[in-house]
Amino acid sequence: MKTRVLSAIFLIAIFIPFLVVGGKAFSVFMSILSVFSLYELIHIREAKKEIPLFLKLFAYLFVILISMNHLSTGSYFLHFRILSLILLLFLAPMVFYYHHNQYNLNDAFFCIGSILFIGISFNLLTLIRNFSIVYLIYLLLITTITDTFALFTGMLVGQHKLIPEVSPKKTVEGLIGGTFMGVFVATCFYITVINPSISLVLLIFVTLFLSLIGQLGDLVFSSIKRYYQKKDFSRLIPGHGGILDRLDSLIFVVLAFILVFGII
């Protein structure tokens, strides 16, 4: 537990300056995190099958391009040329590896999906921060408070397993406790700092939706680790695992927030 707490303090100390400064500094920071995140996905995949080196290098290059795409476009929309190039570069090599089955359709779509998933997610994180820091803080509060109180509630009163096949430690009580506190704290912040005149009922429903989506994201990433029989995505952060072990909920919340942004 001591290692986990010290690591958390260290991570916060690194993250806050970039969060406050924003702009290109935050964008570069997110781009670096996107590379580490993609590495973790590829690394966990290679527990079963290795991906050709030159394709991994292309994957890292494209995830940087996508995560920083907003610098030239000012939006989260991707140019079709980038998408077309990704599809061509990762599908065409199947022909040359056909006889040895070193690289097939599953590998190609894993690479394509991972690049788009990670690149778009970190692109959106930067766009939200550079639009307004308070919106990103709102999302961080949802995920952090929900995760923290889900853990403590589960430890204290958890009796009923949520989905033990995916995540053995998560409980129904933890889900309820984490959701309640995440919604309460984030809603209070939104009303106090962002928009005091917003409909409280609407805000509560949106925040509830985002809290549940964040917990779904946690379970999705847990299912990935289960499939590859791994406890963590990496050992980059002592006591916590990897980047994706820490940002799993936030990634899903950011993706969901874009869907509801226009109504709050």
Q: Give the domain-ending residue among 67, 96, 131.
A: 131
Contacts of 103 by beta carbon, 8 Å cutoff, 6+ apart: 51, 52, 55, 93, 94, 97
Q: Give the domain-ending residue among 131, 153, 172.
A: 131
Range of the domain at 38: 22-131
Average pLDDT, the chain: 92
Q: Note whether residue 1 is domain-resident.
A: no
Residue 41 sits in the same domain as residue 123: yes
Residue 57 sits in the same domain as residue 160: no
Residue 111 sits in the same domain as residue 150: no
User: According to the model, what pLDDT value does residue 57 have?
Assistant: 97
Residue 46 pLDDT class (50, 70, 90 cuts): very high
User: According to the model, what pLDDT value does residue 160 have?
Assistant: 92
pLDDT per residue as tens digits for the range 105-123: 999 999 999 999 999 999 9
Q: Note whether residue 10 is domain-resident.
A: no
pLDDT per residue as tens digits for the range 51-104: 999 999 999 999 999 998 765 555 556 678 889 999 999 999 999 887 777 899
Cα distances (angstroms) measured from residue 209 to each of 143, 182, 216: 12, 11, 10
Q: Note whether residue 54 is domain-resident.
A: yes
User: According to the model, what pLDDT value does residue 75 have?
Assistant: 55
pLDDT per residue as tens digits for the range 141-179: 999 999 999 999 999 998 899 999 999 889 999 999 999
User: According to the model, what pLDDT value does residue 80 have?
Assistant: 84
Residue 118 sits in the same domain as residue 137: no
Q: Note whether residue 219 is domain-resident.
A: yes
Q: Note whether residue 8 is domain-resident.
A: no
Residue range 196-212: mean pLDDT, rounded: 97
* Percent residues over pLDDT 70 in the chain: 95
Q: Note whether residue 254 is domain-resident.
A: yes
Q: Give the domain-ending residue among 83, 100, 131.
A: 131
Residue 154 sits in the same domain as residue 255: yes
Residue 116 sits in the same domain as residue 214: no
Residue 10 has pLDDT above 90, yes or no: no
User: According to the model, what pLDDT value does residue 76 have?
Assistant: 55
Contacts of 246 by beta carbon, 8 Å cutoff, 6+ apart: 11, 237, 240
What is the pTM assigned to this prediction? Answer: 0.92
Q: How many residues does the chain have?
A: 264
Q: Note whether residue 6 is domain-resident.
A: no
Q: Note whether residue 17 is domain-resident.
A: no
Measured in whole angstroms, how far is the alpha carbon of residue 110 from the centre of its chain? Answer: 17
State how far the Cα of 113 lies from the Cα of 87, in Å rounded to an integer: 10
State how far the Cα of 145 lies from the Cα of 215, in Å rounded to an integer: 11
Tell me the Cα Rg of the chain.
Answer: 19
Residue 208 pLDDT class (50, 70, 90 cuts): very high
Residue 126 sits in the same domain as residue 143: no
